[in-house]
Amino acid sequence: MKVILRNPKREMVVEGPTSVRELLEHLRIVPESVLVIRGNELLTRSERVDADDTIELRPVISGGG
Amino acid sequence: MNCRVCKQRAAVEVRRHHAAFCPDHFIEHVQRQVARTIHDYRMFGSEDRLLLGVSGGKDSLALWDILTELGYEVDGAYLHLGIGGYSADSLALAEGFAANRNLRLSIIDLPVDYGFSIPEAAATQGRSACSVCGLSKRYLLNEAATGYDVLVMGHNLDDEAATLLGNVLKWNTEYLGRQAPVLPAVEGLARKVKPLIRVAERETAAYAVLRGIEYEVEECPLVAGNKVNRLKERLNVLEEQSSGIKQQFLFGFLDRGAQHFGVGEKPELGSCRSCGRPTTGDVCAFCRVRARATAPPEERDS
């Protein structure tokens, strides 16, 4: 699957299918620090993601305001 | 994972509440948390004139949406900090949000109105860009709030928990005494409130996405190494191991710890010799930054 990361914006390919939990563990990303977005949907960590999905991992930490 | 309310597929898990929600019920949940915070801390009423500090980021735009949905009339104030394309993008997002909802947004332009930008100021001071930015925001928003009853800020649970942790680690007792959901008005400074303190940063971002709010996703280019953000990352690791720890840390302090640090004590304020605004010194920090940032280079180091 295609995984979009931010700050800086970049893309990578990860093998699927897998779960959101496993995807974040694989990339060593703390779940509390990102939203997992597929199209217009937000995914919880129990959701499955498929090989042909495009997943955005959007950081939520910002400087405030 | 299913919604606690309707049992449909969940979009957002809120682990510290042992709950998950579908989009509609998550939106309701967040709005309810904010309404409860406003009520519990007696932040403001429907008759108060409210000004919200708007950055174009998720927190301030989500809060503007929530307050409007709760029936409050809120004006926004955007600070143009002169941070290149980042400021231009976030201004466009703030203006777009306000225009789509027919809300009033005033714009304070630091380079045009005060003669310097945050990058210029940071380059001429012995302090970080975030420090110069923070003090400029506080000054300019207090000034913008003249004529309003309450200045509303978009600080969320993570912002407040990370600030608290930073102050505890250094035992900045003066700052600990000032950390509160409501800062009462003192002469020349508006009453300041933080209705998002029960909503985690991840939840304000989820709220913004689910409400279709376009916000500035990119990080400020000057933020690298920001201490508060590093503390947020550490707190998120702790939260992963012990859900609810951020909320327990912050609200434990507010409920049982803050009273030991002189909360509510009014600082001794005089008037800034340069601008006349309240300050604890002779010339306020903003006027000192401005004087140095706008001085000719040969005068800066003298």
14-33 in chain A: CB under 8 A from chain B: 30-33
Task: Encode chain B (302 residues) as per-residue pLDDT tens digits.
Answer: 999 999 999 999 999 999 999 999 999 999 999 999 999 999 999 999 999 999 999 999 999 999 999 999 999 999 999 999 999 999 999 999 999 999 999 999 999 999 999 999 988 887 888 889 999 999 999 999 999 999 999 999 999 999 999 999 999 998 898 899 999 998 878 899 999 999 999 999 999 999 999 999 988 888 877 889 999 999 999 999 999 999 999 999 999 999 898 765 666 788 999 999 989 889 999 999 999 999 887 776 54
- Strand, coil or helix: B243: coil
Contact B65, B213 (CB under 8 A): yes
Residues of A in contact with B159 (CB under 8 A): 64
Distance between CA atoms of residues B137 and B103, nearest Å: 21
30-49 in chain A: CB under 8 A from chain B: 30-35, 37, 41-47
Distance between CA atoms of residues B21 and B26, nearest Å: 5
Our CA-based measurement puts residue B237 at a distance from the nearest CA of chain A, in whole angstroms, of 7
Q: Is B137 exposed, middle or buried (0-12, 13-18, 19+ CB in 10 A)?
A: buried
Cα angle B92, B97, B103 (rounded to 5 degrees) comes to: 120
- Domain residue spans of chain B: 24-269
Please enumerate in sequence order all residues whose Cβ is within 8 A of that of B197, keeping only pairs 6 or more positions apart, or say none: B37, B155, B156, B157, B160, B181, B250
Q: Is the ipTM of this complex over 0.85?
A: yes
Q: Is B96 exposed, middle or buried (0-12, 13-18, 19+ CB in 10 A)?
A: middle
Identity of the residue in A9, A41, A60 whose CB atom sits nearest the CB atom of B11: A41
Identity of the residue in A7, A34, A61 whose CB atom sits nearest the CB atom of B232: A61
Q: Which residue of B has its CA nearest to A41?
A: B11
Contact B44, B150 (CB under 8 A): yes
Identity of the residue in B202, B220, B229 whose CB atom sits nearest the CB atom of A32: B202
Contact B81, B87 (CB under 8 A): yes
- Residue B139 half-sphere exposure toward CB, CA atoms < 13 A: 23
Q: How far is CA B276 from CA B51, B69, B134, B258, B283, in A?
A: 22, 38, 20, 31, 9
Identity of the residue in B20, B58, B240 whose CB atom sits nearest the CB atom of A44: B20
Q: Which residue of B has its CA nearest to A58?
A: B217
* Residues A16-49 pLDDT 10s: 899 999 999 999 999 999 999 999 999 999 999 9
Q: Is the minimum CB–CB distance between B23 and chain A shorter than 8 Å?
A: yes
Q: Which residue of A has its CA nearest to B78?
A: A65
User: Buried b / exposed e across B228-259, counting CB within 10 Å, b at 16+?
Assistant: bbebbeebbebbeeebebbbebbbebbeebbe
In DSSP terms, A54 is beta-bridged to A2
Please state which CATH number belongs to domain B24-269. Answer: 3.40.50.620
What is the predicted pLDDT for the residue at A65? 37
Residues of A in contact with B58 (CB under 8 A): 60, 62
CB contact under 8 A, A65 and B154: yes
Our CA-based measurement puts residue A13 at a distance from the nearest CA of chain B, in whole angstroms, of 22
Contact B290, B124 (CB under 8 A): no
